[in-house]
Structure 1
């Protein structure tokens, strides 16, 4: 799985960090998403899918 984020869409809700903190973080100054791992391990796949599903701005894109 490959993860990309569109920072311009991010509304800093932090749901990605709650669901997949090993893959996502937030900038201190404005809360915008930081992608920590573009290709997370398979054991994190379910968490990353959940994070993408709950993102209120649809700022997370998952591809194979």
Structure 2
């Protein structure tokens, strides 16, 4: 299962209404309206859930 980055709904990738590749990451959407919202402001939604390994970039040891 994937999570729609706009509405946070669980989406089965094979049945997603739309998908988009943004910065090398695939995002799946439950509806065209969520897809449209993402394409209008991808940084707003793509930044909502940082990848688990992003903490390496903060300089923590």
TM-score (norm: length of structure 1): 0.28
Which has the greater radius of gyration? 2
TM-score (norm: length of structure 2): 0.29
Larger helix fraction of residues:
2
RCO comparison, higher one (Cα < 8 Å, 6+): 1
